[in-house]
Structure 1
Amino acid sequence: MHRNPPPCPHATYFPSNLLGSTAFYLGLILTTIGFWAYFTDRPTLNLAGFFYGIPVLLIGIALRTAQLKPVPYSEPTTDEVAAARERYATDNQKQIRKDMLGYRYAEKAHLGESLEALGLAPTDEERPLITALRETLTDGAYTLVIEFDSPMIDLEKWQSKQKKMVEFFGPDIRVEIEQPEEEYIDLLLISTRHADSTTSADTEPSSQAA
């Protein structure tokens, strides 16, 4: 489940590695023009090509090598779950999903700062790494599941941070932690808006009757 995730039909990937690729190819073109101008004795064009091309090329290379790729889905999202996301997902769930589905720059790992704030990444070597995500329903509630490779942070340590996670990822979030197999952790961020909506619907007729 964690190692060979299939494509997800309901996944929207934000945005691509356009920044790094644009800088790389623009720098490459300008540098090439600079070399061409040098060998054809065009000093002004030569200077401009080298002056702008090489720095832009180096920036592009740095961005391409330092980028975090989008997190893949471990299983396709069904139409029912996608509809629940649109209706019940919290702002934090939406933002986390968006961040993980996009290229990231100048970051060591997806949710790296969040894990540090929660006390789950004491060092870079011990930091759990996100391997995939998936979306499901938990008793009808929209659930964003983040799958971690966590060989150095055990289940007990994760569970000790559960209350803090509710405050960190809230509001309107319930947190569950599962261990599907040794050294792997599933973090379930469950929207409580479905329960609130159901409760309101159940009590509304009584209020009207009264």
Structure 2
Amino acid sequence: MGGIGAALFCSSQSFSVFSYAQIHVQNRPSSPLLVHKLSSFSNHDLILAKTRNHLRFKDVARAADSSQPSSVITSSDKDIVPDDEFSLAKVSFGVIGLGLGISLLSYGFGAYFNILPGSEWSAIMLTYGFPLAIIGMALKYAELKPVPCITYADAQLLREKCATPVLKQVRSDVIRYRYGDEQHLDEALKRIFQFGMGGGIPRRSAPILQNIREEVTEDGKYCLVLVFEAKALQLSDFEKRQAKFTSFFGPRISSEIVKGENDLYEVRLISNTTL
């Protein structure tokens, strides 16, 4: 051939350039040196392709890592403390009285009619069972269940030293069964919102305590959050009584009003006592 041409072969992974002379020689069976060179060239392309894919994988992995948060909060101080401590305040006396009274009445009637053994004790069982059942039903009717309490670990550590006696008493009152009250913090709400008085709100519009929360503010102060549901009130109804919340649950506290989701309003009682 008069000249030397070139041919370009492309594939999805790599490409190779061969001269027409090399192609002509390649067709000859006796070219070991040329075959070795072409094989080395192909192996080199394979190594480059693998290296390129490896670097691409590293870039993707690095991008995935950078998309994640730079820091993850794993401090136990933000953990919620489980409320698994047994206390008589968490026991319903209405359930106890009603259950004990019905049990005595049932066994007493069974023993009286000789269905159950112990007929000689049937009169005593009936005598004590009836009033216990009545008292249990009355307590159950007047029962006010405790509200849920969410306590963070850092707030629990500050409670004993930083929470005021009033805040401790409020927490203790709302997480136990109460009897005879229409709702939790009934007296406090009556004075703050002045039910049925001039400038006050109707009794039926009174906010209802849904839950409480113990947490620590950004500046390290103990905070007791009262979460109310008030469908008939606006944020302004709470804000204009903020000073009354502070004075009633004081001294040595400040208060904040925050609008929550739906019809929920948060009254944050922040203790001014610090470590």
TM-score, length basis structure 2: 0.61
In 2, Cα distance between equivalents of 1:43 and 1:77: 52
List runs of 5+ in structure 2 lacking aligned partners: 1-78, 196-200
What is the aligned counterpart of 1:142 among 198, 222, 229?
Answer: 222
User: Equivalent residue for 1:161?
Assistant: 241
Residue 31 of structure 1 contacts residue 54 of structure 1 at CA under 8 Å; is this kept in 2?
Answer: yes
Query: Percent identity among equivalent residues?
Result: 33
Moved more, 163-172 or 140-149: 163-172
Q: Point out the more displaced range, 12-21 or 168-177.
A: 12-21
Contact conserved, 1:13 with 1:70, CA < 8 A, in 2?
no
Question: Normalized against structure 1, the TM-score is what?
Answer: 0.78
Indicate if the aligned counterparts of 1:120 and 1:158 stay in contact, CA closer than 8 A. no
Q: Do the aligned residues in 2 keep the contact of 1:13 with 1:102 (CA within 8 Å)?
A: no
Distance of aligned partners of 1:48 and 1:123 in 2 relative to their CA distance in 1, 3 Å threshold:
farther
**Aligned ranges for residues 1-210 of structure 1 at < 5 Å?**
8-11=80-83, 14=87, 15-40=89-114, 45-73=121-149, 76-119=150-193, 121=195, 122-138=201-217, 139-194=219-274
Return the structure number with greater relative CO, CA threshold 8 A, min gap 6.
Answer: 1
Structure 1 residue runs without a partner (length 5+): 1-6, 198-210
Shift of 1:96: 0.6
Aligned-residue offset at 1:109: 0.9
| Alignment correspondent of 1:204 | none
Q: Secondary structure at the match of 1:132?
A: strand
Distance in 1 of aligned mates of 2:86 and 2:163: 17
Task: Tell me the amino acid that sits aligned with residue 9 of structure 1.
Answer: V
Q: What is the rounded CA distance, in whole Å, between the counterparts of 1:184 and 1:88 in structure 2? A: 27
For 2:153 and 2:192, the matched residues in 1 are separated by: 33
Q: Secondary structure at the match of 2:225?
A: strand
Greater C-alpha radius of gyration: 2
Counterpart position of 1:203:
none
